[in-house]
Amino acid sequence: MADEPAAAGAGQDYPTIDPTSFDVVLCGTGLPESVLAAACAAAGKTVLHVDPSPFYGSLYSSIPLPSLSSFLSPDPSTPSSTAAAAAASGSHTAVDLHRRGVYSEVETSGAVPEPARRFTVDLVGPRVMYCADEAVDLLLRSGGSHHVEFKSVDGGSLLYWEGSLYPVPDSKQTIFKDTTLKLLEKNVLYRFLKLVQDHIAATSGAGDAAGIISEEDLDLPFVKFLNQQKLSPKMRAVVLYAIAMADYDQDGPDPCEKLITTREGIQTIALYSSSVGRFANAEGAFIYPMYGHGELPQAFCRCAAVKGALYVLRMPVAALLMDEEKKHSVGARLASGQDILCKQLIIDPSYKIPTLDVPFDESDSNCPRKVARGICIFNKSVKQDASNVLVVFPPKCMVMLFLLVDPVSILDLALEEQQVATVRLLQLSSNLAVTYRKANLTCRFMAYLSTPCTDASTGKHCIKKAMDALFSPLDSDGSQGQLATTSGSTGDVKPTLIWSCVYVQEITQGTSSSLLSCPMPDENLDYRNILESTKKLFTDIYPDEEFLPKKSAPVHDDEDSDSGE
C-alpha cells in the first residue's frame, strides 16, 4: 500500500547506481511497467526500474485515504526532480522532462470517518479481475500469484433499471430463480444464453459445429443481433452493459461510434462464463485483490527482482539523454545527476514527452479522453447480505430516475440525456482490508464509480446522480439515516452517504517515434486492454522473445494450485 508521496526536494541523498548501463530502463512502477519489467527480466535482459515515489504503483497505486488529496491535487511548487538537465554531456544531449496534471475537477463532500487511515483508496477504481482473464494467467505464469491474495465479489452484479436494483440473471439457475422476470423474458433470455454457449463450445471444438453463429451475424452490431433474438429492453440492457460490459449507448436512436459487434460481445460473455466456477472459493465471475489493486504492481516487481531487475525508489528522472541528432534516446539523467545509458527507455505516461525539434510547450495539441471517477463511504450495503457487489447503470437510465422521482428543469433533463455511457459502481467491504469494521460490528463500506466522458462537467454530473440514486445524504446535524428514503425492488432503506469525492482523470498515451510509455489507467472494468497494449509493447521491443513464459515462475510447492483467495 502506498503512503504519502515524498517530495523529491533538495537535501535528499540519492544512491549511486552501479552498473550505469542496462538493456531496459523503466521510469514508474505502474502495473504495465511492472509487468513489462518482469517480462524483460524473464527474457534475460538487464533491467533498471526507478520511481520518484517511495512506494510501488504510480498511477495504479492503493493509498491511505488521508493522502488522496495530495495525489489528486499535487502542490505545483513541488519539483518533479532536483537535478537540472545540462545542455550536453559528451555525445549526448539532455532534454528536460516535465510531469503533466493527470487529475482535475476534484470535488469532495462530507467528513471522512475516523480512523481515516483505515481506508485504502485505489486510484484505478472501480476495477475487478475476471477469474479467467489474462491478468490472472500472468500472475500464475510469472509466480506473482504467490505475492497477492484475492476475494470474490460475492454479491454478484446488479442492474439499475427504472429506479430499482435487480440481480443480473447470468445463468440458467439465476434466470429461473429470478422473481422479477416474466416467464416469457426468462425463456427468451435462456434460449439466447444457450445459443451463445453452443457457439462457444462449437468454436472450441467441444460442441456440434451446427451451433456456430454465422459470420454475417457475428459482424452485426450486437444490439441488432439481440433484437433478432427478441430480447426485451431490460434483457438487452442486462446482456449489453452488465455481461458484455459495453461502455457506450448501444441501443439509442443515433448510431454510436463505439458499437460492439456480436463477435466482441460473445468474446466477453465467453470470458464471463469461463470465469464463473474457475476457483472453488470464488463466487461469480469477479475477484478483487486484498488491500487494493496497488498490490498487483508490487507482485510483478517482486517477480522482476527475483530475475535480477534492480529497483530504486525515491529516484525521479530529470532528463532524457538523446543522441547528437535527437533521433532516439540513449538513456536517462536521474535526479541524482547520474547518467544511465540503456538500449530501451520507457517512461511513466504522466510525463509529457517533449517534442525534440521545437521548444517544450505546456499545452496539448490533442484533446485527451477522460474518465470521471467517484469514491464514496457509506454506512451499509446497497444489497442486503452482500459485502462486495457491482452495480451497473446503463446509458440513459438517469432520465428514468428523474421522471420517476424528481421534478426537473429542461436543462437538468437535457444533461441527463447526455448520459451516453455506462456508469459502474463497485462496493467493497472490510473483508478486503480496504475499509474497517468497528468493535460493535458496524461496518463502513466504500464504493468506486466511473464513466467515460468527453466533457468533465457532464461526467461528474452522471457520477453524482448515480450516488443520488443509491444513497441518502447525512442530516444537517451529521446524523445518519434520518433522511433515508426507500429504493430498489425490495423497498429497503437507502444507505447513508458519509463522504464522497468526484474527480476527472485524463487518459493519454505518450508514445512517440523516439520514446515509449505504457498505457494509463483507462475507463474499463478490467485490465484486458492495458495488458494487451503492454504485451504488444514487449513484442515490438523483443519480437523473438516469449512474453512471460510459465518457466519464468519461481518454483513453489503449490505451483499448480489455482486459488481465488
Q: Encode pLDDT of 67-91 as tens digits.
A: 999 999 876 554 444 444 444 555 7
pLDDT at 283: 82
CB 297 within 8 A of CB 2: no
361: alpha, beta or left? (left if phi > 0; alpha if psi -120 to 50): beta
**β-strand partners of 342:** 22
Of the candidate ranges 336-345, 383-392, 475-484, the one whose mean pLDDT is the lowest:
475-484
How many residues in the chain?
565
CB 141 within 8 A of CB 553: yes
Average pLDDT over residues 124-135: 93
Q: pLDDT tens digits, residue range 42-73?
A: 999 999 999 999 999 999 999 999 999 999 98
pLDDT at 76: 59
**β-strand partners of 157:** 390
How far is the C-alpha of 294 from the C-alpha of 2, rounded, in Å? 8
Beta strands per DSSP E along 163-234: 164-167
CB 397 within 8 A of CB 419: yes
pLDDT at 74: 78
CB 4 within 8 A of CB 67: yes
pLDDT at 100: 83
Average pLDDT over residues 512-527: 84
How far is the C-alpha of 169 from the C-alpha of 195, rounded, in Å? 16
Radius of gyration for the chain, computed over Cα atoms and rounded to the nearest angstrom = 24
Query: What type of residue is 92?
Result: H
- Grade residue 221 by pLDDT with cuts at 50, 70 and 90: very high
pLDDT at 2: 61
pLDDT at 367: 61
Q: pLDDT tens digits, residue range 396-420?
A: 887 655 444 444 444 455 545 568 8
How far is the C-alpha of 329 from the C-alpha of 345, rounded, in Å? 7
CB 322 within 8 A of CB 93: yes
pLDDT at 99: 84
List C-alpha distances in Å: 340 to 92, 238, 288: 11, 52, 37
State the average pLDDT for the chain: 84
CB 287 within 8 A of CB 139: no
How far is the C-alpha of 496 from the C-alpha of 472, rounded, in Å? 5
Average pLDDT over residues 126-142: 92
Strand, helix or coil for residue 53: coil
Predicted model pTM: 0.88
Average pLDDT over residues 318-322: 90
293, pLDDT greater than 60 = yes
Q: Which CATH number fits domain 21-100+290-364+508-549: 3.50.50.60, 3.30.1510.10, 3.40.630.10, 3.10.20.30?
A: 3.50.50.60
How far is the C-alpha of 271 from the C-alpha of 134, rounded, in Å? 10
Give the torsion sign (CA, 167, 171, 174, 180).
positive
Q: How many other β-carbons are positioned within 10 Å of the β-carbon of residue 241?
A: 28
210-224, 273-287, 513-527 — most confident range: 210-224
Q: How many other β-carbons are positioned within 10 Å of the β-carbon of residue 410?
A: 7
> Which grid coordinates belong to 511?
508514445
pLDDT at 400: 53
What is the residue extent of each domain of the chain? Answer: 21-100+290-364+508-549
479, pLDDT greater than 60 = no
CB 472 within 8 A of CB 485: yes
Give 464: exposed, middle or buried? Use CB within 10 Å, 0-12, 13-18, 19+: middle
229, pLDDT greater than 90 = yes
Average pLDDT over residues 343-367: 65
> Which grid coordinates belong to 281?
472459493
Query: What type of residue is 407?
Result: P
Strand, helix or coil for residue 341: strand
Strands 157-161 and 389-393 come out as parallel
CB 349 within 8 A of CB 338: no
340, pLDDT greater than 60 = yes
b/e 94-122 (16+ beta carbons within 10 angstroms → b): bbebebeebbeeeeeebebbeeeebbbbb
> Which grid coordinates belong to 156?
454478484
How far is the C-alpha of 340 from the C-alpha of 368, rounded, in Å? 31
Q: pLDDT tens digits, residue range 167-219?
A: 999 888 889 989 899 999 999 999 999 999 999 999 988 878 888 999 999 99
